[in-house]
Each structure stands twice: as C-alpha cells, then as structure tokens.
C-alpha cells in the first residue's frame, strides 16, 4: 500500500466517526452516556425510542469507537469510550454555534430568552466555590448525581426546589448545572430560584465537560 493510499484509508476510517455523529438522536445518547453507564433498556426510556432502535444506535456508536459495552447477566451496559468523546462533542457544538445560522437562531430564540444573564465559566465557579461564595446545585436525577458530580455540589432535582429550599444557604448565590450546556434543567432551576427571590446563575457547561477538564469531582455511588 502506498503512502497516498494509507492516508486515504485513514480518512475513510476517521469518516466512520463522522457517520456515527450524523444522527441527532445519537448525539443526545452520547450526552446521556456522559453522565453514567447505562443499560440499553435505560437508554431506551431516556431517548424515548424502542429498545431495538436504541440498540442499533448504540451499536453504531460502539463501532465508531465512541462508546464501549460490557455484558452483565442478561443486560448490556454502555458508557463513553473516554473523555475525548466529550471534547469532540464540545468542538462539534462550538463549530455549529459559530457557523450555522440555524443553531444561532435556536439558541437566541429558545435558550437566551430563558436566561439573558451570562453563565458562569467552570474555572470561575471553582474559585468561588472554594472561597465559600456560592452553593453549587446539581439538578440532574439522583442516580446521575450518585454516579459522579462536582465536588461539594448539592443535588436537588428541579421539581423539588421549593420543597427543599431550606437545604440551600440563604446568604449564598446559587450556581446550577445539569447534563450539558443545552440541558434545560439548569435553565428551569435558575428561573425557579429567581422567582422565589434567590440569586442564581447557571454553569456555562455541564458535568461531563467539568469532569473532562480535570476539575474536582466526587461520587456517592455504592459499588
């Protein structure tokens, strides 16, 4: 095989990754897998797809090297292949935000209108949390929080905020985060907190991006 043919074959192999990413549903599944390892059945419920369709999407991701699978008993568990996948998704979305007018329009219409205030960057949140200036609020489901979360974060799903408001110190600003930069849970949490008079912002990214950046995380999951 000539050098030219080797390069061509390499690009053909790299294109497999692009093909696997050519489905919005599979991109969403990668965000779910970035939170924790999941069975095909659990992914099916989250993605609102049949088990058969979910299994096929996950197979595409595994064959492209974006996800890995293991079998335990009757169940197959999937997880991300590594933190490079989170970086890839970040690059993909950043490119889309910069160069696709449709993406910009969607963000301006549906997300910016939900929160016109600037989000808090990860490193700034880390500094403020270490000084005790903010309370970090994780609004993801409890199982995702237990699998891994920002160190020191409090877990209160959006629907429980009013009921459990006493768990959030009244003299601190609250910074909420969820699955990723487009996860509406954080937007909804901030809106709910502001309605009841609390100072709140959202994290610029989500837990997968925080973890991929090597920032402090912890887990309360019992193995």
| Cβ pair 127, 175 in contact under 8 A | no
Give dist(CA 144, CA 79) in Å, integer.
13
Q: Which one of 119, 153, 178, 211 is the catalytic residue?
A: 178
Question: Is 178 considered catalytic here?
Answer: yes
Burial class (CB in 10 A: 0-12, 13-18, 19+), 118: exposed
Contact yes or no for 135/154 (Cβ under 8 A): yes
Name the residue among 80, 193, 79 with its Cα closest to residue 134: 193
CA 47 to CA 163: how far, in whole Å?
28
Sign of CA dihedral 86, 89, 93, 94: positive
Give the active site residues: 178
């Amino acid at each position: 095989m000539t050098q030219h043919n080797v390069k061509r074959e390499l690009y053909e192999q790299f294109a497999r990754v692009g093909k696997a990413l050519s489905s919005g549903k599979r991109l969403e599944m990668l965000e779910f897998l970035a939170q924790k390892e999941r069975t095909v059945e659990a992914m099916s419920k989250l993605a609102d797809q049949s088990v058969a369709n979910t299994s096929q999407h996950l197979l595409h991701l595994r064959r492209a090297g974006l996800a890995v699978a293991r079998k335990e008993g009757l169940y197959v568990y999937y997880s991300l292949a590594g933190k490079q996948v989170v970086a890839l998704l970040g690059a993909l979305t950043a490119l889309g935000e910069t160069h696709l007018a449709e993406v910009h329009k969607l963000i301006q219409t549906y997300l910016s209108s939900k929160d016109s205030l600037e989000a808090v960057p990860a490193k700034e949140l880390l500094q403020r949390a270490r000084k005790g200036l903010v309370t970090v609020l994780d609004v993801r489901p409890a199982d995702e929080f237990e699998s891994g979360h920002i160190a020191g974060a409090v877990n209160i799903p959006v629907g429980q905020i009013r009921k459990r408001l006493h768990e959030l110190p009244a003299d601190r600003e609250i910074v909420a985060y969820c699955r990723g930069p487009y996860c509406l849970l954080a937007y909804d949490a901030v809106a709910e907190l502001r309605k009841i008079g609390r100072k709140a912002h959202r994290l610029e990214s989500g837990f997968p991006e925080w973890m991929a950046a090597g920032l402090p995380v912890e887990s309360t999951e019992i193995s």
